[in-house]
Structure formats: structure tokens, C-alpha cells
Structure 1
Amino acid sequence: MTIKAIHHIAILTDEYERSKAFYTEVLGFKILAETYRESRKSYKLDLAINGQYQIELFSFPEFKERASFPEQKGLRHLAFAVDNIEESVGELLAKGVDVQGIRTDELTNKKFCFFYDPNGQPLELYEV
């Protein structure tokens, strides 16, 4: 088997409109398709990052909360590459997003910081 790339990341939300606004208006992802599936009472929103299909945002009427603290097994966070972390953090703060302080990765000497989506999903900005 030869894996070529990550095809997409699926995120489940209980507040669809709020999450849709966050990923499109705050983070600037482009909507590729939005589908309402009546049989599931669920939305599926396909989003592109920098022209590539990468995020699927789902809403489901019945969901279970996922524990994040203390650290749990599974997906820890989702990191987005940025050119200038100070500028990117400034944009998030201007849009009312609570952002943790900028830190430096001790292994790579690259700057990074964490913030959360409306569902509490940990997200990271990582300066490349």
C-alpha cells in the first residue's frame, strides 16, 4: 500500500451554523458543497483549504461528547500551517477567538499556538 496524502478530516458539530461560520468566516475555508441529508437529519459541509478539499463538517442530532482533558487517546488536535503566526493570531483575536500564547517548538524552533473551534476541538496554528 502507498498512501499518497490525507484526503480529508471529518469534524462533528452539534451547532452547525455556528461551526459553519467559524470554519468559513473566521478561518476562511471555502465551501465546495453543502448537503442536507433528510434521512439522517444531518448536514455535510465540504470545505477547501487553499484550494484543496480537506474538511468535512457534519451535524448529527444525536452525538456523544468526547473527553479532551486530561489527555485522551485518539486525535489530539488539528494543526494548520501559516506563514506568519503573529499576523494569523492577530486575525483570530480580531474575530473574537480566544487564543493561547504563542510558544516555540523545542524540537524545530518553529512558533505555534492553540485555540478551539466552537465544539471545543483543539486547533493549532504552526508557522512554517
Structure 2
Amino acid sequence: MPIKNVVVNCTDVQRSVEYYTKFLELRLVSEATPRSALLDAVTATIELRAVAAGRDQSTWVGDDLQKGFRHIGFKVDRLDERANVLKAGGVEFKLDPLDAEGKVRICFFYDPDGTLLEMIQGDLQYAEVLDPDGVAAERALGVPGRPRFDHVAVTIEDRPTTDKYYRDNFGFSFIGTIEQPHDPRGFSIGYLKSGDTVLEVFTYNAEKSSRAPQLDVAGFAYAELAGDPPPDLTAATAPDGTTVYVDPDGFAFSARPTV
């Protein structure tokens, strides 16, 4: 089942609402409060939750060799124009717009609390297509009228293990791969699709580090998947009482049972 919601912790909800509505055209689902806000991102929602500034330091680092969460991706049109607006607004970039493997154009930048975000323009041309129907469904979504949630990216240890985990438990389909032949770390990307959303998985031949999820510090907290949680998983409790599970690579998610 697809990714339904992505929870992002922030130190100032109103500041983050202004950021996401201005730069990514997300729309408020209901009135924001000092504690939380829910934003519509077309194919999923982004939920902003307040945490105390400086309470704890995040252990997330901007090195894709750290397993677990890496970034949140949005499909867009007019990427360069949008990037210019971000730059004019003083937004910090990790990677300026460029043409990437798979014949797409991308850029990476940070939200006010350091959550890494990506904009992607164009349909990926996969090095290997593993599910033609899944790829066709992805392309049928068309060019977005406003930025739409596309994926959460994670670094993993083993692609077949992750494929089986999310296929068996949540019905994701492995639709294709993109290779990075010039990366000395042995970098490859796989795409697990469910509904209109994707889990983008990074694999490397190089040694990777691990990180325990942090549910009460600024930054990405967890994704919410539609479906029943698999049994025998490591679980934690979010500040609002939500039960959050942790997959073998340290990626945190909750599960909303389907009706």
C-alpha cells in the first residue's frame, strides 16, 4: 500500500507552513496550530509537528552512506524557475539544478529545520525496467500542475531483502533501476512503487553507517504507510502516541490499517 503521509518535525510550525506553501505550493488541509499542520501534496500529505528547539541534536548527516532516511522528493514542472525562487528566498541548496542519470533534471535543498528535499522534472528513463505496468502507471500521472509528493529515499544494505520486505508486507512493486556508473562507491538506485508513491532505495558497495530513528527532534520523523504492520518488528512511540516501526535499515514508519 502507498505512502499516505510523511511526518516532518519542525521547531516553528508557522515558519514551516509558510515555507512549504510558498516554495512547494502545498495546501493546508485545515487550520494550522502552534503544534501541528497538515499539508496536501497531491498524492500524499506532509504533516508538520512541533518539537522544542535545541532539545536534542539530530544524528542525521548528509552522507548517503548513512542507512535509513535520505530525502523527500517532489515531482515538479519548471524546475529551474522554481529553484531560482528558492535561491532568491535564501534557501540553502545541497545540489544546484542539473541533468541526472535517467534523463531527469533534479536539485536538492533544505527546509528550515534541515530536512533534505528534492525536486525532479521529467519521467525517469530506467536502466532496467522490472515492472512495465508500474512504469506506465507512473508516467500516466503526467506533468504536475503543482509540486506533488513522489518519494521518500532511503539507503539500504541489500536490495533483494528490501524488495521482499516491502513487497510481502505492503504490496510495493520493484519497477526499475537507475545505475550510477561514475560513482566509485558502487552506487545504484531502485524504485519500489505502490499506488502513486515510491520508495527510492540507494545501494552501495562501500561500507555504510547505521542510525537509530529519532522521533522527537527536528527533521524527518517517519512515513505512514497504508496497511497492517508486519509482525515482530522493532517499535517505538512517537511523542503523540503513534506506534512507529523500524525496518532492518533503520527507516521509521507507521501503518494505517486499510478498511
Alpha-carbon distance in structure 2 between the residues aligned to 1:56 and 1:63: 21
1:47 counterpart residue number = 39
Look up the equivalent residue of 1:19 and give its one-letter code: S
The whole-number CA distance in structure 2 between the counterparts of 1:26 and 1:83 is: 13
Deviations 1:77-99 (A, max 9, x none): 00110122111112212322233
Quick one: structure 1 residues 33 and 7, their matched pair in 2 at CA, closer, same or farther if it must change by over 3 Å? same
Q: Secondary structure at the match of 1:18?
A: helix
* Residues 106, 119 of structure 2: 8 Å contact kept: yes
Q: CA deviation at 1:60?
A: 2.5
Following TM superposition, by how much is the alpha carbon of 1:70 offset from its aligned partner in structure 2, in angstroms?
Answer: 3.6
CA-based RMSD: 2.1
Look up the SS of the partner of 2:90 in the other structure.
coil
Equivalent of 1:104, from 81, 86, 99? 99
Q: What TM-score, normalized to structure 1?
A: 0.78
Q: What's the CA shift for 1:9?
A: 0.6
* Alignment partner of 1:66 out of 59, 66, 75: 59
**1:35-65 deviation line (CA, Å, top 9, x unaligned):** 65xxxxx712110124x55110001235552
Percent pairwise identity: 29
**1:34/1:43 contact within 8 Å kept:** no
What SS class does the counterpart of residue 123 from structure 1 fall into?
strand
1:12 correspondence with 2:9: yes
Q: Structure 1 residue aligned with 2:112, among 105, 109, 118?
A: 118
1:66 aligned partner, one-letter code: T
**Quick one: distance in 2 between partners of 1:84 and 1:35?**
29
Supply the AA of the counterpart residue of 1:105.
A
User: 5+ unaligned residues in a row in structure 2: which ranges?
Assistant: 123-259
In structure 2, C-alpha distance between the alignment counterparts of 1:69 and 1:86, rounded to whole Å = 23
Structure 1: runs of 5+ lacking an equivalent: 37-41
> Aligned residue pairs: how many?
118
Q: Distance in 1 between matches of 2:98 and 2:76?
A: 14
The residue type equivalent to 1:92 in the other structure is L
State the TM-score, normalizing by the size of structure 2. Answer: 0.41
My pick for the range that moved more, 81-90 or 94-103, is 94-103
What is the distance in 2 between the residues matched to 1:43 and 1:18? 12
Give yes or no for contact 1:14–1:63 (8 Å, CA) kept in 2.
Answer: no
- The letter for the 1-side match of 2:80 is E
Asked which structure has the greater CA Rg, the reply is: 2
Deviates more, 1:74-83 or 1:9-18: 9-18
Q: Is the 8 A contact 2:26 2:40 kept in 1?
A: yes
